[in-house]
Structure 1
Amino acid sequence: MTAFVVDTNVAVAANGRDTHADEQCQLACVEKLESVVATEVVAIDDGGAILKEYMDRLNLSGMPGVGDAYLRHVFNYQGQNHRVRRVAVTPSEDDRRGYEELPENAFDRSDRKFLAVAVVSGAVVLNATDSDWREEDALMKTLGVEVNELCPHEISKAARRKRSS
């Protein structure tokens, strides 16, 4: 059974609202989240930073979207290691690291929690629309973190938007 760290953008895209992801990307996210919930393990941090971000962007009632249902699954099964594994990571006072488990890095601060959990748990990161994961490919290789890009065409568009802003 594979463990996954799910970037919030995957669940947001699966919901199909408040996202710039196209229908192809939304469908890829829906299918992957349904598969993860049915047969895989989700890894989150034991400090609650990932769950808090999910709760800020998704609906805990589990409706109306697949991303909301994913949040409900994570919330209901947190701590049941065969479904949702809480992983110990240590926030760092060093802003250049973010977490003690990470070296100095220029990675997006808001995504460092996902990266730290992936490093500690050995989980695969799921990403839909965030270009930072691809832009920091060298860091991912150094840390041995695998990133599954569900929407590579969206990531290319996100990188172009970032460069033009």
Structure 2
Amino acid sequence: MVDTNIALVANKKQPNASPQCVINCVRELMAIRQGVKKLVIDDNGLVFDEYRRNLSLSGQPGVGDLFVKWVHDYQYNSQRCDRVKITPIPGDDFAEFPQDPQLANFDRSDRKWVAIARVHPQNPPILNAVDSDWKNFEFELNQHGIIVEFVCPDFQFK
């Protein structure tokens, strides 16, 4: 699963990301586009909608934009993309999100990825580059079987 910040870093839209961080994000997106890795999204289109709000569906000018174009073209191809059912509930929450008081302040816009990870049979990791919420709640998420893969180990979270 790819948090939107990966594609934004690949587009060089995150000024605090190092050149190596940009390279790492580009590699992750390319691995998905080339079929080395499979993308996991929701069948409600919430992930795709977030991508579209933050990236250009034309596929230009950056690698992140090329990625969202690829998602548009391949999201229904089961060999390239897994679509899982999650249950939205009012307030940007999901039935599949852990009911844990320690996660009460976790970013509501990122909860969809947690819900997707919890229902996918392989429990795929969530890729993150520079979003501090994933780092701030890493321990609590791990307690619920959620794995966050930090593709920019040199990034200094605040």
> Once the two structures are aligned, what percentage of the paired residues are identical?
40
- TM-score normalised by structure 2 residue count: 0.88
Q: Which runs of 5+ in 2 are unaligned?
A: none
CA distance in structure 2 between the partners assigned to 1:59 and 1:89 by the alignment: 25
- Residue of structure 1 equivalent to 2:113: 114
Deviation of the 1:110 alpha carbon: 0.9
- Residue of structure 1 equivalent to 2:25: 29
Q: Which runs of 5+ in 1 are unaligned?
A: 160-165
Q: Which has the higher helix share?
A: 1
SS in 2 for 1:103: coil
CA distance in structure 2 between the partners assigned to 1:19 and 1:127 by the alignment: 16
Q: Deviating runs (4+, > 6 A) in structure 1?
A: none
Q: Residues 2-21 of structure 1: matches in 2 within 5 Å? A: 5-17=1-13, 19-21=15-17
What is the CA deviation profile of residues 46-102 of structure 1, one whole-angstrom value per residue up to 9, with x for unaligned ones?
111111110011111111211111111111111211111111000123x5x811011
SS in 2 for 1:13: helix
What is the CA deviation profile of residues 135-163 of structure 1, one whole-angstrom value per residue up to 9, with x for unaligned ones?
11222212212111011332x2x42xxxx
Deviation of the 1:19 alpha carbon: 4.2
CA distance in structure 1 between the partners assigned to 2:110 and 2:151 by the alignment: 17
Conservation of the 8 A alpha-carbon contact between 1:98 and 1:109: yes
- Residue of structure 2 equivalent to 1:150: 151
- Residue of structure 1 equivalent to 2:139: 138
Q: How many residues align?
A: 151
Deviation of the 1:34 alpha carbon: 0.6
